[in-house]
Every structure is written in structure tokens, then in C-alpha cells.
Amino acid sequence: MDAERRNAQFDEIVTKLVADDPSFETATRTPLAWDALARVLLLVVAALGWAGLSVLMVVWGWRGVLVTVPIVVAGFVVAVRLTRNGGASQAGDRTT
């Protein structure tokens, strides 16, 4: 019941805002072109890094593995944390 009241109030506020300024109705977020460029650059850098680490393991043997494993684990941890947090962390979003 309380949720229905909040939804009704929200709908009322949105209706009033759209009536006051019609640009609110058409405002949508579109992805920026540099977002796609950043993803491509990240993919290229990651591929080159992966290739470099693979060569390092072959050339240096077990020492290359000792260098590569912590780098790959750190990259995996960073990727999981960024994915879990939606890519950005804000002070209000933190639960711990």
C-alpha cells in the first residue's frame, strides 16, 4: 500500500515536470562515441598484454610464470569488482 502511494506521488511529480518542461519527456541517455572507442582500446591493450605475458612465460620459463600469474589474478580481481559494482562506485552505493 505504501509503495503504491509512492508510485502515485512519483507519477504525479513526473507528470508535472513534463508539463512544465516538455524536454524532460524526450531526454534519454545515449552512449557516447568515445565509450565504444575506449572499449576497443581496452580490448587491444588487453590482447597485447596477454600476448606479451604468454611470450614472457615461454622465454623466462618458471620465472615468467611467477610474473604472469599475479598479474593475471590482479586483472581478474579488478574486472570482477568493476563488473559487480557496475563499473563505477559512488559513496552512496557502498554497502561495506
Query: How confident is the model over 12-45, as pLDDT tens digits?
Result: 888 888 788 777 666 555 556 667 788 888 889 9
pTM (two decimals)? 0.49
Residue 49, all three cell numbers: 598484454
- Quote the pLDDT of residue 61: 93
- Cell numbers 596477454 label which residue? 50
Q: At what angle do helices 33-60 and 62-84 cross, to 10 degrees?
A: 160
Contact in structure between 18 and 25 (CB atoms under 8 Å): yes
Is 50 exceeded by the pLDDT of residue 85? yes
- Quote the pLDDT of residue 96: 45
Contact in structure between 63 and 48 (CB atoms under 8 Å): no
Q: For a pLDDT cut of 90, what percent of the chain falls above it?
A: 32
